[in-house]
Amino acid sequence: MGFRIAIIGSGAVGGYYGGKLAAAESDVHFLMRGDLETIKRNGLHIHGPAEQVELRTINCYNSSAQIGPCDLVLIALKATANHALVDLVPPLLHECTMLLTLQNGLGNEEFLAKSFGAERVLGGLCFVCLRRISRTEIQRYDYGDIVLGEYRRAAQPRTHEVAAQFRRAGIRCCVTDDLLLERWRKLVWNIPFNGLSILAGGLDTAAMLADEALGASALALMEEVVAAANACGHALGHDAIEEQMRRTATMGSYKPSTLLDWEAGRDLEIEAIWGEPLRRARVAGAQTPRLEIVYALLKALVTGAKSA
């Protein structure tokens, strides 16, 4: 009996990692809504540097009851749609089903733990530049790595097994004993670049770095995030900033996913990426004036756009 994997959320992240796993002949089952018929008919195509994946036939379904119990559920929904998981997940569960959230920001593991039991929950950080360029095509621009960990405990044998599944599919994957530390490390990038790109009127990474004042603001925001992580008890080194700046410099003209969402009129993960980190920083007594104003502006922008 194979290792059954369900993918919930078939945007760029779900499509890419699910597609790679399927291409490596893992037993993958996609839960889809709007694009189900199109993808059934045309397949799913992944293009990347030295990478070409053509999936002609895909297991996809419009209800999780049709999928049934799985060993691993990969959750790549927008965090703003988490409430839907309460109905979507239960048909996928057997006693030992693992729930792996690949979502951004803070609070997603907590939501899954509260809803389905903490022992099921793993989290993954995706360091990848992706864009869905059509309903059936995903473009990978850069990177692709996943950092995988358990919710509130060190890595377990199963964590390494899941990592091995990803590696078998050609995805670089490493395992961490401190998932939250890695989440903060990723926020060092997402908080400045996803936020400023929207507030500055739609700038990509190259344009942000080329603007001296904006680049300085991004750096200062990164410092705030590192300080907040440390105040929250995660020993995130200052080198996280240099690492992220180095990554960013090689991205070229990359539009952060939140900017793409904003431009397409999709929901933004304001609470997961900015709100929850800000609240945790505050409780821990960290000073985060820039994060505070970026959060307030993004929230007001989204609220205004919704009521418009």
Catalytic residues: 186
Name the minimum Å distance from CB 286 to a copy of itself: 13
Question: Judged by CB under 8 A, does residue 221 bind a copy of itself?
Answer: yes
CA nearest 142: which of 53, 205, 261, 49?
A: 49
Applying CB under 8 A, which of residues 13, 147, 203, 240 lies at the interface with a copy of itself?
203
Taking the least distance from each CB to a copy of itself, the nearer of 84 and 297 is 297
Name the minimum Å distance from CB 288 to a copy of itself: 9
Q: Is 115 helix (H, G, I), strand (E, B) or coil?
A: helix
CA distance 199 to 142: 24
Question: Judged by CB under 8 A, does residue 199 bind a copy of itself?
Answer: yes
Interacting residues of 214 by C-beta distance below 8 A, sequence separation 6+: 196, 200, 203, 208
Question: Judged by CB under 8 A, does residue 293 bind a copy of itself?
Answer: yes
Dig out the tokens for 197 from the structure.
């790109």
Interacting residues of 37 by C-beta distance below 8 A, sequence separation 6+: none
CA distance 3 to 26: 7
Taking the least distance from each CB to a copy of itself, the nearer of 63 and 303 is 303
Taking the least distance from each CB to a copy of itself, the nearer of 166 and 295 is 295
Return the amino acid letter for 263.
Answer: E
Q: Are 129 and 101 in contact (CB under 8 A)?
A: no
Question: Judged by CB under 8 A, does residue 295 bind a copy of itself?
Answer: yes
Question: Judged by CB under 8 A, does residue 86 bind a copy of itself?
Answer: no
List 175's β-bridge partners, or say none.
148
* CA dihedral sign, ordered 210, 214, 220, 222: negative
CA distance 2 to 253: 41
Question: Judged by CB under 8 A, does residue 201 bind a copy of itself?
Answer: yes
Interhelix angle 212-231/179-199, rounded to 10 degrees, is 150
Taking the least distance from each CB to a copy of itself, the nearer of 163 and 278 is 278
* Placement of tokens 């993004």 in the chain: 298
Question: Judged by CB under 8 A, does residue 96 bind a copy of itself?
Answer: no
Residues numbered 22-81 forming contacts with a copy of itself, rule: CB under 8 A: none
Question: Judged by CB under 8 A, does residue 305 bind a copy of itself?
Answer: yes
Applying CB under 8 A, which of residues 23, 81, 207, 260 lies at the interface with a copy of itself?
207
Applying CB under 8 A, which of residues 23, 113, 174, 200 lies at the interface with a copy of itself?
200
Question: Judged by CB under 8 A, does residue 300 bind a copy of itself?
Answer: yes
Name the minimum Å distance from CB 293 to a copy of itself: 5
Q: Are 80 and 105 in contact (CB under 8 A)?
A: no
Question: Judged by CB under 8 A, does residue 304 bind a copy of itself?
Answer: yes
Q: Which region holds residue 131: left if phi is over 0, alpha if psi is between -120 and 50, else beta?
A: beta
Taking the least distance from each CB to a copy of itself, the nearer of 157 and 285 is 285
Question: Judged by CB under 8 A, does residue 138 bind a copy of itself?
Answer: no
Residues at the site binding a copy of itself, with contacts judged by CB under 8 A: 196, 199-203, 207-208, 211, 213-214, 216-217, 220-221, 289-290, 292-297, 299-301, 303-305
